[in-house]
Amino acid sequence: MQLKVLFWLAICLLSACTPVTEQTSQLDTIYQRDSLRVGLLHGPTSYFIGIDGPSGFEYELAQTLAHRLDVKLELFPSYHLDELLQKLDTGQVDFIAGGLTLTSQRLSRYRAAPAYRWINELLVFRQGDDWPRSLDDIKEPIVVIQDSSHAQTLDRLSIDHPNLRWQEQKDLDADDVLQLVVDGSIPYTLTDSNQLAINRRFYPNLSIGFTVSENLPVAWLLAADTDDSLLTVLIEFFGNIYQSGELITLEDRYFGHVSQFDYVDTLQYIDAINHTLPDYKDLFIQYAGELDWRLLAALSYQESHWDPKARSPTGVRGLMMLTLPTAKQMGVSSRLHPEQSIRGGSRYLHRLVSRIPERIAMPDRLWFALASYNIGWGHVEDARILTQRQGADPDTWLEVKQRLPLLRQKAVYQHTRFGYARGDEAVTYVENIRRYYDTLIWTDEKQQAEQRLEQQRLKLTEQFSPGADTAAAKPDIKQ
């Protein structure tokens, strides 16, 4: 709101000192229509429809900007970059947000806002195939998306590698191309490092051959023939959210838990989803309460790998690995009984969530509760107090998780209320659950989509089968 007031004040002052002209700035147009029009590229790293509606890193960034300008956010999503570029060229959108790498070709046609992320371009192949270690090892065409930054990279590299071949596909997105590599339909593709990190949770057989380009800037694109009013605001906007820590907090929310990849663990988890989870899925759904059942299942997998007889050296047992005192408090008489364990674990997690100060918003509130499930709320509170003493925000998981490992150090924990704790393990614990949760959401939604398609197929088969009674389906034609 403050930014909007200052802008209009400046306009009024300027109008009093200068003749009125018919020229209207881009920012003035945004305020007059009371909306910011943003072209968004569909994808898990930018914009998608989640269980709670529109979501994604780029979406939340654009939403934050619209809030700062005190205008509505109008979305123009698309699966195809060329469609968004056409909208930008014709003025239908104010800028494009889609995790776009700044290439020389793009900068020759468009202007860019300040870079807010940096990525590497990687050559990807399927685990088990011959490992290409350089472009000289590439014997078949590399498949990339048409007019993508990857296609432009290959065009640039072909100057020094005249035998380099590639194919550009128009009707595919980044996820589709990676799926083709997993299926063995194509041998190679190029992908961005953040895109690969997300997809390896679902497709652990994606392997990195080598890095093609390093530290490439990612930014929003603006039309080249507009004035500087919006660009000036964007420079200030990114500077402010960088200095305040909002940018890194948002980045951690979407990408902070996917940086680590364990090939064996991911394979085992996907296998367990297919073969073990069905035995307990209904119980997780039944006792999820106000939480997503898939989060409860992810917590259980982190605790016990869905083994109802699991036992740790410290004596916690069962699917939810409850201590004996906690089990008694939650009304659990047998920790090895799957239903009792899931019911007790869910009840305990809900209690922990309720203990988190209400001012802490989701999802940070949930991450604090999960850390408390692992090491206790007292130790988490010690880390929050330490965070506050160091001048950081104790209500942000990003800040607190950087201090939790300090609870191992005597110089630190001797001055805390609850003393020593393996805080680093709690951080790993929470980040693992976040990865498991994301993977389970993806697999569950994929299974639901496949079931809907199968139901439609069966319905059509029954309707048009040779033995079906089609008389009822025919209209009653009167002569």
Query: What does the block give as tokens for 32?
Result: 């007059």
pLDDT higher than 60, residue 6 = no
pTM over 0.75? The answer is: no
Is 124 within 8 Å of 190 (Cβ atoms)?
A: yes
Q: How does pLDDT run across 353-369, given as a tens digit for each residue?
A: 999 999 999 999 999 99
Within 10 Å of residue 70's Cβ, how many Cβ atoms?
14
* Residue 192 shares a structural domain with residue 272: no
Domain boundary among 233, 255, 277: 255
Angle between helices 338-355 and 293-304 (to 10 degrees): 110
* Residue 288 shares a structural domain with residue 179: no
* Residue 362 shares a structural domain with residue 418: yes
* Residue 198 shares a structural domain with residue 231: no
Between 2-6, 168-172, 347-351, the lowest mean confidence (pLDDT) is in 2-6
Half-sphere exposure of 233 (CA within 13 A, CB side): 26
What pLDDT is stored for residue 70 in this prediction? 96
Is 217 within 8 Å of 101 (Cβ atoms)?
A: yes
* Residue 321 shares a structural domain with residue 238: no
What pLDDT is stored for residue 80 in this prediction? 85
Whether omega for the bond prior to residue 114 falls within 30 degrees of 0, making it cis, is no
Q: How many domains does the chain have?
A: 3
Q: Rounded CA gap, 334 and 320, in Å? A: 12
Residue 8 belongs to a domain with what CATH number? 3.40.190.10
Concatenated DSSP letters for 105-153?
HHHHHEEEPPP-EEEEEEEEEETTS----SGGG--SPEEEETTSHHHHH
Query: What does the block give as tokens for 27?
Result: 């920012």
Burial 280-313 (b: 16+ CB within 10 A, else e): beebbeebbeebbbbbbbbbbbbbbebebebeee
Percent of the chain with pLDDT over 70: 91
* Residue 203 shares a structural domain with residue 332: no
The residues assigned a catalytic role are 303
Residue 47 per-residue DSSP state: B
470, part of any domain: no
* Residue 243 shares a structural domain with residue 277: no
What pLDDT is stored for residue 51 in this prediction? 61
Nearest 5°: CA angle at 127, between 429 and 449?
70
pLDDT band at 7 (very low <50, low <70, confident <90, very high): very low
What pLDDT is stored for residue 313 in this prediction? 79
* Residue 147 shares a structural domain with residue 72: no
Residue 401 belongs to a domain with what CATH number? 1.10.530.10
* Residue 146 shares a structural domain with residue 290: no
- Give me the residues paired with residue 271 across strands: none
Name the residue range of residue 172's domain. Answer: 119-216
pLDDT higher than 70, residue 3 = no
R_g of the chain, CA atoms, integer Å: 27
Which is it for the CA torsion 179, 180, 182, 188, positive or negative?
A: negative
386, part of any domain: yes
174: closest CA among 308, 45, 336? Answer: 45
472, part of any domain: no
Is 93 within 8 Å of 87 (Cβ atoms)?
A: yes
* Residue 251 shares a structural domain with residue 376: no
Query: What does the block give as tokens for 148?
Result: 């993508």
123, part of any domain: yes
155, part of any domain: yes
Q: Rounded CA gap, 344 and 236, in Å? A: 49
Task: Spell out the residues 6+ positions from residue 39 whose beta carbon is closer than 8 angstroms to its own.
Answer: 76, 77, 78, 84, 87, 88, 92, 93, 95, 96, 97, 98
Query: What does the block give as tokens for 305?
Result: 């790998």
300, part of any domain: yes
pLDDT higher than 70, residue 18 = no
Concatenated DSSP letters for 335-349?
TTSHHHHHHHHHHHH
CA 201 to chain centre: 12
* Residue 104 shares a structural domain with residue 157: no
227, part of any domain: yes
449, part of any domain: no
Q: How does pLDDT run across 266-317, given as a tens digit for each residue?
A: 889 999 999 999 999 999 999 999 999 999 999 999 999 999 999 987 789 9
pLDDT band at 206 (very low <50, low <70, confident <90, very high): very high
Query: What does the block give as tokens for 407?
Result: 């609870």
Is 274 within 8 Å of 280 (Cβ atoms)?
A: no
149: closest CA among 95, 193, 192? Answer: 192
Between 300-309, 425-434, 436-445, the lowest mean confidence (pLDDT) is in 436-445
* Residue 54 shares a structural domain with residue 104: yes
